Amino acid sequence: MQSSIPFYNVHDPSVCIPLEKVLRVNGTEGGYYIPQQIPSLPDSLIYKDPPPSFRDVAFEVFRSFLQDAISESDLYTLIARAFPFKVPVFPIDPRTYIVELTHGDGGSYTDFGARFTALLIDYFCRHSELPMHILFAGSELETLSLAKAFSEFEDIHATFLYPKDDVQDMIKQQFISLPENIHIFNVNGSLDDCKAIIAEITEDADMSGSMELFIPHPAQTTYLLSQVCCCLYAVLTVLSRAGYDNNIEQPQLIIGTPLKQPNAVSAAVLAKKMGAPINGFIATADFFCNDPQIDYEEECTRVKMLYTQGNTEECIPEIALFR
């Protein structure tokens, strides 16, 4: 089997591994992986009329990074299973469009990355001699997305921790309805306490040696690429619609993404690097962002690493912060 495009750890560039191995990098180990090279998508996709479906966009994006690590037929099957829901793009005024990312199992944008992560882990590791187990501590929506994603694989057990008083009753009811391979525990403590428990488990040599242990996280590369698909699909849909929605034949497209959503700005920038006709970027911060300026600066640092790819002469796009 051929490997995918290599991804390197921005904190330690000497660590360079294919995407199928990035899946095994535990969230507790740190590190942010970005592609060593960014492929370009064909003009036949970018300027297709009518515009491509979301699945077609996802197929081209993931194929360009996975290359021959997964056959085309298998990849399209995975994409069809990962994204069975619609991704509506519609105008809210003559010059502003919204892409709805709430039609997955968990009603959140995290469904995209969670579902494809689960499918790839199953695909690459299904023949392992050791039992597979998922450990995760995160927000209620992140937990729900991953729990529902892994609930489809009865041979994979998954354990989720969340703060006792940090989950809505509606989501608790969905937790209760999940199958037996999904184990969810509320912890009398904070989210940091939950993550500390996960970290302690991973350091247990006996436990980690007895199973294939995965600790996914929302900043994982599969989440990033899933968001690239969302950005690219939204842009191509708007590009196609603008002519008859508002009589703008060659619109200058500016994409806005929430700052608190991991990888969102980076995904938009990566979509542009792959060929999407994006002319500007806006990072939005709402009332619930604890320190938007710090988050903004961190996101800009990641974007710089992603965009320049070591080329100091590359012109880095400006990202406006909207509060």
Q: What is the pTM of this model?
A: 0.87
Amino acid 312: pLDDT: 46
Contact 138, 161 (CB under 8 A): no
Beta bridge pairs of residue 316: none
**Intrachain domains 6-109+219-321 and 131-210 with the same fold:** yes
Hey, what CATH topology would domain 6-109+219-321 get?
A: Rossmann fold (3.40.50)
Q: In what order do the strands lie in the sheet with 319-322?
A: 254-258, 280-284, 319-322
- Strand ranges of the sheet holding 132-137, from the earlier edge strand across to the other edge: 182-187, 156-163, 132-137, 212-214
Task: List all residues 6 or more positions away from 105 whose beta carbon is below 8 Å from its beta carbon.
Answer: 111, 115, 144, 145, 148, 149
Give the start-to-end residue ranges of the domains of the chain. Answer: 6-109+219-321, 131-210
Q: Which residues of 264-292 are buried (b: 16+ CB within 10 A; e: fewer)?
A: bbbbbbbbbbbbbbbeebebbbeeebeeb
> Cα–Cα distance between 202 and 208 in angstroms, integer?
6
Q: Of the candidates 32, 39, 46, which has an alpha carbon nearest to the alpha carbon of residue 4?
A: 39
Q: What is the pLDDT of residue 84?
A: 93
Average pLDDT for runs of 10 along the chain of length 323: 77 82 68 82 89 94 92 95 92 86 87 93 86 88 91 92 77 84 89 88 74 80 91 91 78 80 83 89 68 64 63 55 51
Pair of tokens at residue 282: 């806006």
Task: Say which CATH architecture domain 131-210 belongs to.
Answer: 3-Layer(aba) Sandwich (3.40)
Separation CA 293–CA 272 (nearest Å): 24
DSSP letter assigned to residue 286: -
